[in-house]
Amino acid sequence: MNAPAPPHELRDWIARHLDPLEEHDPVDGVSPRSDFDLNPEHFPPPDGPLTPASVLVGLVEREQGLSVILTRRSDTLRRHTGQVAFPGGRRDPGETPWQTALREAEEEIGLNPSFVSLAGLSTPYRTGTGYLITPVVGFVRPGFTLTANPAEVADIFETPFGFLMDPSNYEQHERALPGGQLRRFYATTYEDRYIWGATAGMLRALYERLYGAALA
């Protein structure tokens, strides 16, 4: 049995599969993933320009391996209430995607940016609610303290990266849309956490980047 790769080799390997941080809009000319990848015929056309947003895919370097910081959204939010999500939000004018991701992570969960080493950008993701999200991948050094902003976050937890990158842990689920069509999507459950929608879609896209294969 092969020994696990040293942490610095794993960091370098992941970073090589991501888009580099550059001073331009990373979604320019890139085909995004979306909420409707499994049934594109039901994807509603946008009413106007998509709203740029970013999330932080925070990979915590634990002794037992990498884990991913996730949140459960507050039950008082107007959209995506109670869903599992990465920390993140809409991009302010003049911000880069990574500045947005770090700012939102600090505002939502109290993650000090000094603990984060940015690795690169994963595949942009378009939501049915009109957002174009850039997933910003960063390695998080242990020793941080997190505090949930109760206006936005109900809970903070970590999920093993290996679990989230195992395609056998995902299933295709479906829900009825207001017009009666069925929307299919990927979902997984870790312990009692149901991970689906945009979060599962962005994890799926990251898996494809790293391993060069699509989930079944």
How many independent structural domains does the chain possess?
Answer: 1
Asked whether residue 79 carries a pLDDT value surpassing 70, the answer given is no
Task: Tell whether 23 is covered by a domain.
Answer: no
- Mapped onto helix, strand or coil, the DSSP state of residue 200 is helix
Percent of the chain predicted with pLDDT > 90: 60
**Tokens linked to 118:** 């940015």
Phi and psi at 15, nearest 5°, equal -60, -35
Task: Tell whether 26 is covered by a domain.
Answer: no
pLDDT average, residue stretch 63-70: 94
Q: How many residues does the chain have?
A: 216
Asked whether residue 7 carries a pLDDT value surpassing 80, the answer given is no
User: Of 174 and 16, which is predicted with more confidence?
Assistant: 16
Task: Tell whether 174 is covered by a domain.
Answer: yes
Phi and psi at 211, nearest 5°, equal -115, -5
Task: Tell whether 14 is covered by a domain.
Answer: no
pLDDT band at 81 (very low <50, low <70, confident <90, very high): low
pLDDT band at 212 (very low <50, low <70, confident <90, very high): confident
Please give the pLDDT value at position 30.
61
Please give the pLDDT value at position 38.
82
Task: Tell whether 24 is covered by a domain.
Answer: no
User: Tell me, what CATH number does 110's domain have?
Assistant: 3.90.79.10
Asked whether residue 5 carries a pLDDT value surpassing 70, the answer given is no
List of residues 6+ apart from 204 with CB closer than 8 A: 33, 170, 186, 215
Task: Tell whether 154 is covered by a domain.
Answer: yes
Please give the pLDDT value at position 138.
98
User: Of 179 and 59, which is predicted with more confidence?
Assistant: 59
Q: Which of 110, 109, 132 is nearest to 198 (CA)?
A: 132
Task: Tell whether 112 is covered by a domain.
Answer: yes
Percent of the chain predicted with pLDDT > 70: 85
Helix intervals (H) in 54-165: 97-109, 161-164
pLDDT in tens, 95-144: 999 999 999 999 999 999 999 999 999 999 998 888 999 999 999 999 99
Amino acid at 122: S
β-bridge mates for residue 182, sequence order: 176
- pTM comes to 0.89
Asked whether residue 3 carries a pLDDT value surpassing 50, the answer given is no
- Contact by Cβ (8 Å): 125, 132: yes
Which domain covers residue 72, as residue numbers? 49-211
Question: Rounded distance, CA 39 to CA 42, Å?
Answer: 6
Task: Tell whether 7 is covered by a domain.
Answer: no
pLDDT in tens, 28-45: 556 788 878 887 776 667
